[in-house]
Structure 1
């Protein structure tokens, strides 16, 4: 790990719902000059609910008002100048101050939302209602849980391709910015979910639910580096 990290975060109780979609249709939703990354010709949209704790900038302690939040990401997988990374369509989060900081200084599409998470044993109930000013209210209601023993994704598999991403890209005023991060290898479990309501992903290409891939991860410590203009 490089020493110039900017922010530390701890991610907990993550679910990854990976839906295969049309690469051609998904490309239309990306800002130029990013291009869709595919695995064996398949593109994916991923829905990722989780809790973030221990948020702090390097050299500072965790600040109570912004050190913890619940979050829901909608993301896909992209390439730029030969590098593979993640592109976020949206990041709904519960902390209004953290949302403002991420939008203002990192140009990430964070949106303020009400999110409730209740965990009983291995079963997690999750509800997200977007309430960001100027955006249509959207809602997701689901439950999820791990259903396998923990494992590490094998190199070259779709599990590794989907989760082992150490950079993200965002586009602001037609300029591409790259954010790098470091974490230990994911300890994954197969996951199961039940979706009772979802208006958040209706704007994206049709989802192939028959080939859905679901992962769960209990815990991951991450370090983010300063964003760079490419």
Structure 2
């Protein structure tokens, strides 16, 4: 299976990252909610060295809740009795030296070991109490992060229509086919690479009851319903080591 994933590269804009992958994850029941935002309002929230990537003049913010399962490190068997955990990430779309990717404003998970491990890898994870249930074809997702950086996410969502592959150069493809991520810690940029097969999507209907994951941004940036919503059943992803890049002024 992994060799087939590694051989499937025609949808990538750039070659696979150098060196071996280090971790495999299975992502399940992913909801992608996307909002267009004014670039000049979002730019101040990026770290030095990253440039906003835009589509037809708009920057974008996405909130993505999903379940993580079947996690294992390279050349190490799956951990017995490992339970799936839930995760939400908030990201925007950036580029550096011509390479496109994503920058995470924050990531929540309900497995403390995953949070601590990701923080060691420079990613801005938070521990949250989270639940997901499937009832009559709809998913109900709740997350509550406590403490100084408290945040809430409550939504229900349902896939609709037939699965499809986004057309190349479409907005959907531009948003989802991203294979590099950046983080910022210790005054420096770090970059990691990922790889998976091309996204197969469905359209989705979402009822976003409450979310304060983006409360650090101006309140008017995400005051409307998401402009674009996708659902994906699952994806097997390979992750490469996150390495320090340095910064540009």
Flag whether TM exceeds 0.5 (same fold).
yes
Q: Residues 180 and 225 of structure 1 are in contact (CA less than 8 Å); yes or no, is this contact kept in structure 2?
A: yes
Shift of 1:127: 0.3
For residues 129 and 71 of structure 2, what CA distance do their matches in structure 1 show? 19
TM-score by length of 2: 0.86
Point out where structure 1 has 5 or more consecutive residues left out of the alignment: none
Q: Is residue 66–residue 95 contact of structure 1 (8 Å, CA) maintained in 2?
A: no
1:28 is paired with a residue whose SS is: helix
Partner of 2:98: 82
| C-alpha deviation, 1:226, in angstroms | 1.3
Shift of 1:202: 2.9
Question: Within 5 Å, which residues of 2 pair with 1:1-230?
Answer: 1=6, 4-64=20-80, 68-104=84-120, 106-131=121-146, 133=147, 135-205=148-218, 206-207=221-222, 209=224, 212-230=227-245
Contact 1:11 1:219 in 2 (8 A): yes
User: RMSD of the TM alignment (CA)?
Assistant: 1.6
Contact 1:139-1:200 at 8 Å conserved across structures: yes
Distance 2:225 2:185 in 1: 35
Contact 1:66 1:98 in 2 (8 A): no
Structure 2, unmatched stretches of 5+, are 1-5, 7-15
TM-score in terms of structure 1 length: 0.93
Contact map agreement 1:20 1:209 (CA 8 A) in 2: no
For the Cα contact (< 8 Å) 2:33–2:226, is it kept in 1? no
1:2-34 per-position Cα deviation (integer Å, ceiling 9, x unaligned): 671100000000000001111111111111111
Q: Deviations over 1:120-140 (max 9, x none)?
A: 242000000013x5x332111
Task: Check 1:128–1:20 CA distance in 2 against 1; reply closer, same or farther (3 A cut).
Answer: same
- DSSP-derived class of the 2:56 partner: coil
Verify the 8 A CA contact 2:179 2:194 in the aligned structure 1.
Answer: yes
The count of aligned residue pairs is: 227
SS for the counterpart of 1:201 is coil
Farther-moved stretch of structure 1 (74-83 vs 194-203): 194-203
Kindly tell me: are residues 42 and 211 of structure 1, through their superposed partners in 2, closer, same or farther at Cα, counting changes over 3 Å?
farther
